[in-house]
Amino acid sequence: MNMVAKLNQDVTPDGPDYEIVRQVIELITEDYRDQPSLETIAARLGQSPTQLQKTFTRWAGLSPKAFLQAVTLDHAKRLLRKEELPLLETSIEVGLSGPSRLHDLFVTHEAMSPGEWKARGGGLTIRYGFHPSPFGIALVMITDRGLAGLAFSDIGDEVACLEDMTCRWPNAQYVEDRDATSPYAERIFQPGRWTSDQPLRVVLIGTDFQVQVWESLLKIPFGKAVTYSDIASDIGRPTAMRAVGAAVGANPISFVVPCHRALGKSGALTGYHWGLTRKRAMLGWESAQA
């Protein structure tokens, strides 16, 4: 029986903080070439520099200046790639200590069987909830086996975001349960909660080919990036770059299964289901956290 998910509560964060942070991220990722100062950013948003610094740092876990530096570093290394140096030598270089090393051990996964995939979610109960995150409002979806979906929305687009995700598994039963999804949201976006002794379990619901691609994405180290052709080679299908790109785009567990680390052959960011601004923000955030 098909179930239509409904958003039963207002998930808009209290106060204007979320919108301010979203605008700062967008402004920095679009205008980083100008290296705007904190005072310039604050003036454009009608905020005091001190308050803006506190608000952004509280939400994003780093200061506007640190985020700007991370975005700038990412851009500089993309320029190196345009000089035809090997991608893996010039992509985002970070140390292997601290959160970056832990992240490699933080996620464990399992895949649903082909029969379960063909049932299009039949027999599954998926609980969902919306939560604030460094990258906008996060839609977290879980089953009794672990995290099954993670998507992002801007304020006002929550219903569309929910519909986009539920149509992937139309025969599942959907239950809005923010209390159940909250522990997942807290662990995903807090590097201090990334521990190898209690890894985050994710459940991959897709075709065999899609699961192969998503498993390859999980191999990309925190703070680095690869091309679609790298992924195609990794799964033993070197000529299937177009199909790989489609599978990357269909990844239902954004950020945790890091499709944002997949780049075009030239090192360009290319498309991203949840927006290029958000993709830049994720890469910058990871560089700053490492």
Give the catalytic positions in this structure. Answer: 259
Residue type, 105: L
DSSP characters for the chain?
--------S--PPSSSHHHHHHHHHHHHHHHGGG---HHHHHHHHT--HHHHHHHHHHHHSS-HHHHHHHHHHHHHHHHHHHTT--HHHHS----SSTHHHHHHHHEEEEE--HHHHHTTTTT-EEEEEEEEETTEEEEEEEETTEEEEEEEE-TT-HHHHHHHHHTTSTTSEEEE-HHHHHHHHHHHT-GGG--TTSPEEEEE-S-HHHHHHHHHHTTSPTT--EEHHHHHHHTT-TT-HHHHHHHHHT-SBTTTS-GGGEE-TTS-----TT-HHHHHHHHHHHHHH-
